[in-house]
């Protein structure tokens, strides 16, 4: 098979072909549901699936690649091919996608000399190693090799970041040297300066990203895509949420008003998102605007045709009707939405205190001065910084410099204050040790690395803690990635209110595993693990999301186990409530 273009028309095996793609990120959907989501894409009227590949999902620790299980992108693509869908793949190395650091691994910024997204030798050596390994997985999936990949993107919205054409050209060279024979493209915002900075028209097709004013946007690319196919690489049907904001919604009518011109003019498009899914674990990204850090919530519902749980929305059915209206052959509906269950309330009566559990979670690292989490070899989670305040110190203000993102200070286990990168440093937090040496603990939460803009080199942890002007030295640090909680020892029947960081747990019985949503009462923020699956962060203080999605494949018939990490403590009556509906606003 061959996918080519001549003039403004794509051709598949010599016949005119219009790309009708929908975005489904395999890394935001449980593998057990890949076929269901892809079949619903096909039955809506789309002919192609688009997905990013996050570098930090494949290579979280430097040199350790993992394409197994949920991370096996080639299986996702083959599943799509079996259903008769073609594919577009966007391997980065930077993807944005509201994903942690835009897909860039944390180990890149362990060295302060690193320069990202440019033709820096230190960076490019690691990029080339990643792409070589990834393309070994993807080459068999190319259309030329009997697979279904039509096109691949080079970088992502680079014109919003820089204009290093040597960098972009080197990426194209790596693609071609690795046997990537398919059509290549770049994608940038509608702004002319972005397209000029981020495109390579002589080597890649220049595509656009936008969510409204379709006629105007598609006409605007003519200067760059002269006599070549035009495409919207991301048509945004909705938007994502930050903690502390209102939930974003958009009516089906509004979306269709901006979408219909694609069908009327037979333009190529990628509908972003067709199915948003979930930022499981600690995978959410963050934005930074006007000096404010804004982490993205766990849900990536995106107001898409399929909601977070994969259910068809009003927009799905109206899209399908619109495809039919314009003569697109649409298959019959054969899929159904998943069964939901409200399992009720589960009392979180078991406790394991973080400060008592450190040996089961991490090995300490000692340094005269604090190290950022990246310098500790840590990718995600929390970092505990511990230092002794010498005996005889008079009352002094405690300041924390270079904090990212949120920290709680404890003196001998008693809570002193909460620090936040978005807030002015409190000037009324005092420490003294006239009656003997004191232990100062600062627990820092990485709330998600910045995924867009100039601040993507977003190192986590803290740079310095000081008493007034004098820095504290002699640190013991615990990287807490929270990957394996099996070593925790829980006490039963001791539920009590505490301001210490604590794990709360319970066992609960399920007769039939169904999709469900879990809300935590009695704790402000933290993360939730169900049967060893980290289903993401919760933040009751900020919202808008109040309940996290728990897919049925993460449950089992019989006894199940939930563990909730409560970052800033918990009430005596903490409860996990399982409901059959999401709570997003």
The CB-side HSE value for 570 (13 A sphere, CA atoms) comes to: 29
DSSP secondary structure string, 279-306?
--TT-B-EEEETTEEEEBPSB--TT-SB
CA distance 273 to 97: 10
CA distance 308 to 535: 13
Q: What is the sign, positive or negative, of the torsion defined by CA atoms of 77, 78, 80, 81?
A: positive
CA distance 352 to 126: 40
Q: Give, as one character, the DSSP assignment of residue 461.
A: B
> What's phi and psi for 193, nearest 5 deg?
-60, -35
Q: What is the sign, positive or negative, of the torsion defined by CA atoms of 353, 356, 358, 364?
A: positive
Q: Which residues contact 367 (CB under 8 A, 6 or more apart)?
A: 475, 477
Instruction: Single out the catalytic residue among 98, 100, 155, 234.
Output: 234
Q: Is 234 a catalytic residue?
A: yes
Q: What is the sign, positive or negative, of the torsion defined by CA atoms of 481, 485, 487, 492?
A: positive
- CA-wise closest residue to 275 among 583, 550, 23: 23
Instruction: Single out the catalytic residue among 157, 350, 374, 529.
Output: 157
CA distance 461 to 102: 19
Are 510 and 558 within 8 A, CB to CB? yes
- At 71, list the tokens: 């991370």
Strand, coil or helix: 187? strand
Q: Give, as one character, the DSSP assignment of residue 243.
A: T
- Return the beta strands (E) in 154-265 as ranges: 183-189, 205-210, 231-236
Are β-strands 15-17 and 20-24 bridged in parallel, bridged antiparallel, or unpaired? unpaired
Are 23 and 272 within 8 A, CB to CB? yes
Are 460 and 374 within 8 A, CB to CB? yes
Provide the annotated active-site residues: 157, 234
């Amino acid at each position: 098979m061959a996918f080519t273009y001549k003039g403004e028309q794509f051709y598949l095996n010599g016949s005119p072909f219009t790309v009708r793609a929908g975005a489904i990120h395999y890394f935001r959907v449980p593998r057990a549901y890949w076929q269901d989501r892809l079949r619903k894409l096909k039955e809506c009227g789309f002919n192609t699936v688009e997905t990013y590949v996050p570098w930090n999902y494949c290579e979280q620790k430097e040199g350790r690649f993992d394409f197994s299980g949920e991370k096996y992108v080639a299986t996702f693509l083959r599943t799509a091919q079996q259903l008769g869908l073609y594919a577009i793949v966007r391997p980065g190395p930077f993807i944005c996608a509201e994903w942690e650091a835009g897909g860039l691994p944390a180990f890149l910024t362990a060295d302060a000399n690193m320069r990202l997204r440019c033709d820096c030798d230190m960076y490019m050596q690691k990029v080339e190693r990643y792409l070589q390994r990834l393309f070994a997985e993807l080459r068999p999936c190319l259309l030329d090799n009997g697979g279904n990949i039509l096109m691949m993107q080079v970088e992502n919205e680079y014109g919003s970041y820089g204009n290093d054409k040597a960098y972009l050209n080197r990426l194209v060279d790596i693609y071609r040297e690795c046997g990537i024979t398919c059509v290549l493209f770049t994608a940038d915002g509608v702004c002319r300066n972005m397209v000029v900075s981020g495109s390579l028209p002589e080597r890649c097709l220049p595509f656009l990203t936008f969510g409204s004013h379709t006629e105007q946007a598609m006409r605007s690319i003519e200067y760059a895509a002269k006599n070549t196919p035009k495409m919207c690489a991301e048509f945004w049907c909705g938007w994502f949420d930050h903690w502390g904001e209102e939930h974003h919604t958009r009516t089906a009518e509004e979306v269709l008003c901006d979408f219909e011109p694609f069908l009327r003019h037979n333009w190529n498009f990628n509908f972003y998102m067709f199915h948003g899914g979930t930022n499981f674990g600690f995978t959410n990204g963050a934005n930074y605007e006007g000096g404010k850090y804004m982490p993205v919530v766990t849900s990536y519902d995106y107001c898409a045709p399929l909601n977070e749980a994969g259910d068809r929305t009003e927009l799905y059915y109206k899209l399908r009707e619109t495809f039919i209206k314009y003569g697109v052959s649409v298959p019959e509906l054969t899929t159904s939405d998943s069964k939901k269950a409200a399992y009720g309330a589960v009392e979180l009566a078991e406790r394991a205190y973080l400060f008592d559990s450190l040996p089961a979670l991490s090995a300490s690292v000692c340094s005269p001065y604090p190290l950022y989490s990246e310098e500790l070899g840590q990718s995600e989670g929390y970092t505990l910084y511990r230092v002794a305040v010498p005996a005889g110190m008079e009352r002094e203000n405690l300041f924390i410099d270079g904090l990212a993102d949120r920290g709680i200070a404890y003196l001998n286990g008693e809570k002193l204050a909460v620090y936040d990168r978005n807030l002015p440093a409190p000037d009324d937090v005092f420490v003294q040790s006239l009656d003997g040496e004191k232990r100062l603990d600062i627990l820092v939460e990485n709330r998600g690395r910045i995924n867009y803009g100039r601040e993507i080199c977003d190192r986590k942890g803290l740079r310095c803690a000081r008493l007034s002007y004098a820095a504290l030295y002699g640190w013991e640090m615990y990287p807490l990635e929270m990957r394996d909680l099996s070593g925790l020892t829980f006490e039963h029947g001791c539920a009590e209110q505490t301001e210490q960081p604590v794990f709360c747990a319970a066992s609960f019985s399920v007769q039939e595993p169904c999709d469900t949503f879990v809300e935590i009462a009695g704790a402000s923020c933290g993360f939730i693990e169900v049967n060893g699956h980290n289903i993401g962060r919760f933040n009751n203080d900020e919202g808008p999301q109040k309940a996290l999605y728990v897919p049925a494949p993460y449950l089992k018939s019989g006894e199940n186990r939930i563990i909730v990490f409560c970052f800033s403590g918990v009430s005596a009556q903490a409860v996990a409530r399982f409901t059959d509906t999401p709570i997003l606003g």
